[in-house]
Amino acid sequence: MFTKRTTTKLIAAALVFAAFDYWIWHSLRDSFRKISDESRFKEIALFARAAPEDLSLVDGWLATLPDILPGSRAAFFLAGADGSVLDLSAAEDSVRAFWEAHSSEEAYARGLESAYYLEPYMVSGGAAIDFGDEKGPTSVGVYFAPIPDESGFNVRGAIMVMAPGIGAARFETLLLTLCLLAWAIFTVLYGVSVLSRDPVTGYGVIILFALALLFVAYPLFESVRLTFMKDGAFSLETWKTTFSSRYLVSLWGSVRLGIWTASFSTLIGFACAFLIERTSVGGKKFISTLATMPVISPPFSLTLSIILLFGNNGLITRRLLNLHDFSIYGIGGLVLVQTIGMFPIAFLTLSSVLKSIDSTVEDAALDLRASRPWTFLTITLPLAMPGVLSAWLLVFTNSLADFANPLLLAGSYRVLSVDSYIEVTGRNNLGGGAALSLLLLLPSLTAFFAQRYWVNRKSFVTVTGKPSTRLTELASPPVRIALTVFVGLCLAFIVALYGTIVAGCFVKNWGIDYSFTLANIGEALSRGAKAIRDTVILSAIAAPIAGFLAMAAALLIVRKSFVAKRLLEGFLMTPFAVPGTLVGISYVLAFNKPPFLLVGTAAIIAITYVIRELPVGLETGSASLRQIDPAIEEAAQDLGADVPTVFRTIVLPLLRPAFISTMSYTFVRSMTAVSAIIFLISARWYHLTVQIYNFSENLRFGLASVLATALIIIVLVAFGVMRLLVRDEGLTEKTVSM
């Protein structure tokens, strides 16, 4: 890499470009100055022509100068018949004082003289003058201009104008920054192409690092930094408040909720997984599809139907059972909703774990005269334990980060995610909100790392080898029936919940007037049209970007080696472990000031989508790549393809399934995002889930139901399309056996 030849090349190129850059900057700056000076002179000349004949009006006229040239002042010189200075009028003492101080200087004398010869004159270098206002010394350009009389050939007087070049200074700074930036970019790009054997990889790595630093490291850093500031100075105030009992209650609230949800979800998930993988129950595909449904459902929909059914005016609690004291709000309702929403995660994890435990070991135990329950307890369960722990931790992390459900259903039960939201939107305390979200990061990161690095390592399943195609009937008929009933009830309940949402679309005023109406649909779709459109557009933009970036990152990380590879991977995977509220708050903090003023734009929403889903895409892409025989890519290179061509002709086609699933996953998750988005929406770009929340908060449940149903339909269509496009998954599997 760093040989004498390449380093010399780089230094030489950098110097040459620097010289070229300097020349450009210099010329541009000078032309700009010339042009701005010329326009200045024109304005001053025009102003000078308007000088009144009557000397008493001069002061008034001078005072109008700031209207033309903001921030400027002038002095008026009256000429005598012989050209000598007779009088000096100035609107302000500071100007007069200035003249008196400088009148003897050559430049100024020449300036006045020049004016008397009908030539405008600019004092080079300008000057600094304190106008006496609070601004302090301002640097100004000093101009002398003649005041011609009617004939145009004689001079009545002259003016000296002092005009600050605020705009000019800003432009010059911008120009300088751009030129320096151009040089820096050129040097880096050229350096990469000369020093590395594989420049395209170099560029790719640099781009990814830039993205990771800008959109992951910087916002997090900013939010941490801000929690240590108050009124512009270092302060531990924010953290003291955060660690007060008030918020520690919320922390415990989040953790307690997480524990309950994770435990119930793992239980139900395990029951479903066991039923499908270890018994001969019928309709397995049906059960497994139903069990995965809640994954794709929008955040408020389950909460909505729970409220519709069990809320204060709920169909079941009020109408059917006539309870008046029962409140679904609080931890009970939350555990219910979260469990329903998150048990699919446990189910998917556990069913893949059970699938990969070879039934032969259970057969062996049964063969040795162990009873079925004993086999389960001593063989199946211990082998599945790492998976059980994994599932528990995954659901726990998800529950901690959950924002949408507690927002509607928590009641007086406090959780950190909602508290941080209230802190930001209600009390306008961004620092406090950030601190609370960071607090939430503690249990969240612990669980994430525990799952990834401790539980994963202890997995036994790989040892048992190829999964057998037969399954062992591990449950006696009574047990199987009991399980089926249990799972059936759960799933029926879920179906009922979804049914409620759909029903809610057609009910005029839930809880009060159950008459059928189609008016809700019309009203919701028209009021929510902008939200629907914005959300679909931005999700559709984010999806291919996330897909492409994830595949490129996977390729670089899996197949290439470069400096700080683990660090880049860490950066890109971090958003997965970070709660959505923290992402939203840090983005608001990081991007609400120049040069990265992105808050309120569509860009920041799309970027949030991409960054949040990149980790999963990266994992999917990496897994896919690892299955592709490296010899295939090497063969392409060997035949003459450079890295981008290999990517385009070989890797991308083989990554198609991973690419498409990342795209659809991004689309779906972006459509149903809440916790990060709620801080970033604006009047210009709105989001469907927030609209649903607004309707719910205003008790317009009918409208909320319509939008929730619309969202579910859009998501299902997206999934359907993906299923169609990824039908030929067999391609990558074949390469493994080659």
Q: By CB under 8 A, name the one of 30, 119, 130, 642 that touches other proteins.
A: 642
Q: Which of 574, 491, 540, 508 is nearest to 211 (CA)?
A: 574
**Does residue 735 belong to the site contacting other proteins (CB under 8 A)?**
yes
Report yes or no: 217 and 576 within 8 Å, Cβ to Cβ. no
Phi, psi of 129 (to 5 degrees): -140, 140
Report yes or no: 65 and 74 within 8 Å, Cβ to Cβ. yes
**Does residue 631 belong to the site contacting other proteins (CB under 8 A)?**
yes
Q: Nearest approach, Cβ of 642 to other proteins (angstroms)?
A: 5
**Does residue 381 belong to the site contacting other proteins (CB under 8 A)?**
no
Note the residue count of the chain: 738
**Does residue 654 belong to the site contacting other proteins (CB under 8 A)?**
yes
Beta-strand runs (E) in 416-529: 507-509, 513-516
Closer to other proteins by CB, 476 or 649: give it. 649
The two three-digit tokens of residue 239, written as one number: 């953290």
Phi, psi of 459 (to 5 degrees): -70, 135
**Does residue 644 belong to the site contacting other proteins (CB under 8 A)?**
no
**Does residue 195 belong to the site contacting other proteins (CB under 8 A)?**
no
Residue span binding other proteins (CB under 8 A) among the ranges 303-311, 349-357, 572-580, 645-653:
645-653
**Does residue 645 belong to the site contacting other proteins (CB under 8 A)?**
yes
Please tell me what DSSP assigns to residue 81.
T
Residue span binding other proteins (CB under 8 A) among the ranges 239-247, 390-398, 479-487, 626-634:
626-634
**Does residue 639 belong to the site contacting other proteins (CB under 8 A)?**
yes
- For the chain, what is the radius of gyration of the CA atoms? 35
The two three-digit tokens of residue 465, written as one number: 């080898």
**Does residue 563 belong to the site contacting other proteins (CB under 8 A)?**
no
Write the CB contacts of 489 (distance below 8 Å, at least 6 apart in sequence). Answer: none
Q: Nearest approach, Cβ of 652 to other proteins (angstroms)?
A: 10
The C-alpha angle with vertex 664 and arms to 662 and 665, in degrees rounded to 5, equals: 60
Closer to other proteins by CB, 103 or 735: give it. 735
Q: Nearest approach, Cβ of 631 to other proteins (angstroms)?
A: 3
The two three-digit tokens of residue 668, written as one number: 């779906």
Closer to other proteins by CB, 155 or 650: give it. 650
595: preceding bond cis by omega (within 30 degrees): yes
Please give the residues from 282 up to 321 whose contact with other proteins meets the rule CB under 8 A: none
Closer to other proteins by CB, 81 or 639: give it. 639
Residue span binding other proteins (CB under 8 A) among the ranges 183-191, 209-217, 532-540, 646-654:
646-654
**Does residue 38 belong to the site contacting other proteins (CB under 8 A)?**
no
CA–CA separation, 54 and 52 (whole Å):
5
Report yes or no: 308 and 507 within 8 Å, Cβ to Cβ. no
The C-alpha angle with vertex 139 and arms to 134 and 141, in degrees rounded to 5, equals: 130
How far is the CA of 624 from the CAs of 171, 225, 611, in angstroms?
A: 50, 38, 20
Closer to other proteins by CB, 525 or 632: give it. 632
**Does residue 734 belong to the site contacting other proteins (CB under 8 A)?**
yes
The two three-digit tokens of residue 141, written as one number: 């350009």
Return the residue matching tokens 């609209």.
691
**Does residue 64 belong to the site contacting other proteins (CB under 8 A)?**
no
Write the CB contacts of 600 (distance below 8 Å, at least 6 apart in sequence). Answer: 682, 684, 685
Residue span binding other proteins (CB under 8 A) among the ranges 73-81, 403-411, 464-472, 648-656:
648-656
**Does residue 567 belong to the site contacting other proteins (CB under 8 A)?**
no
Residue span binding other proteins (CB under 8 A) among the ranges 530-538, 566-574, 640-648, 709-717:
640-648
Q: By CB under 8 A, name the one of 629, 694, 699, 726 that touches other proteins.
A: 629
**Does residue 634 belong to the site contacting other proteins (CB under 8 A)?**
yes
Q: What's the helix, strand, coil split of the chain in %, to 5?
A: 70, 10, 20
Q: Nearest approach, Cβ of 644 to other proteins (angstroms)?
A: 11
Residue span binding other proteins (CB under 8 A) among the ranges 24-32, 56-64, 489-497, 639-647:
639-647
- What is the total count of residues that contact other proteins (CB under 8 A)? 25
Q: Nearest approach, Cβ of 633 to other proteins (angstroms)?
A: 8
CA–CA separation, 123 and 21 (whole Å):
28
Please give the residues from 595 up to 614 whose contact with other proteins meets the rule CB under 8 A: none
Closer to other proteins by CB, 85 or 650: give it. 650
**Does residue 635 belong to the site contacting other proteins (CB under 8 A)?**
yes
The two three-digit tokens of residue 349, written as one number: 């994890």
Closer to other proteins by CB, 502 or 641: give it. 641
Closer to other proteins by CB, 225 or 565: give it. 565
Helix axes 416-425, 381-401, angle to 10 degrees: 20
Closer to other proteins by CB, 50 or 736: give it. 736
Side-chain-side CA neighbours of 110 within 13 Å: the count stands at 8
**Does residue 683 belong to the site contacting other proteins (CB under 8 A)?**
no
Q: Nearest approach, Cβ of 566 to other proteins (angstroms)?
A: 11
**Does residue 237 belong to the site contacting other proteins (CB under 8 A)?**
no
Q: Which of 192, 203, 183, 195 is nearest to 4 (CA)?
A: 195
CA–CA separation, 207 and 199 (whole Å):
12
**Does residue 198 belong to the site contacting other proteins (CB under 8 A)?**
yes
Q: Nearest approach, Cβ of 340 to other proteins (angstroms)?
A: 41
Closer to other proteins by CB, 476 or 735: give it. 735
What count of other Cβ atoms lies within 10 Å of the Cβ of residue 572?
25
Closer to other proteins by CB, 199 or 488: give it. 199
Q: Nearest approach, Cβ of 567 to other proteins (angstroms)?
A: 15
Report yes or no: 419 and 247 within 8 Å, Cβ to Cβ. yes
Q: Nearest approach, Cβ of 417 to other proteins (angstroms)?
A: 40
Closer to other proteins by CB, 152 or 730: give it. 730
Say which amino acid occupies 626: R
Q: Nearest approach, Cβ of 641 to other proteins (angstroms)?
A: 6
The two three-digit tokens of residue 722, written as one number: 């993906």
**Does residue 636 belong to the site contacting other proteins (CB under 8 A)?**
yes
Report CA 380 to chain centroid distance, whole Å.
Answer: 42
Say which amino acid occupies 185: I
**Does residue 259 belong to the site contacting other proteins (CB under 8 A)?**
no
Phi, psi of 700 (to 5 degrees): -90, 70
Per residue in 687-722, is it b (16+ CB within 10 Å) or e — as a string?
bbbbbbbbbbeebbbbbbbbbbbbbbebbeebbeeb
Q: Which of 715, 722, 623 is nearest to 668 (CA)?
A: 715
What count of other Cβ atoms lies within 10 Å of the Cβ of residue 118?
15
Say which amino acid occupies 311: G
Q: Nearest approach, Cβ of 645 to other proteins (angstroms)?
A: 7
Please tell me what DSSP assigns to residue 508.
E
Q: By CB under 8 A, name the one of 638, 683, 724, 727 that touches other proteins.
A: 638
Q: By CB under 8 A, name the one of 124, 369, 640, 724 that touches other proteins.
A: 640
Please tell me what DSSP assigns to residue 154.
S
Please give the residues from 439 up to 478 whose contact with other proteins meets the rule CB under 8 A: none
**Does residue 177 belong to the site contacting other proteins (CB under 8 A)?**
no
Residue span 703-732 as binding mask against other proteins, x where in contact by CB under 8 A, dash where not: ----------------------------xx
Q: Which residues bind other proteins (CB under 8 A)?
A: 197-198, 629, 631-642, 645, 649-650, 653-654, 731-732, 734-735, 738
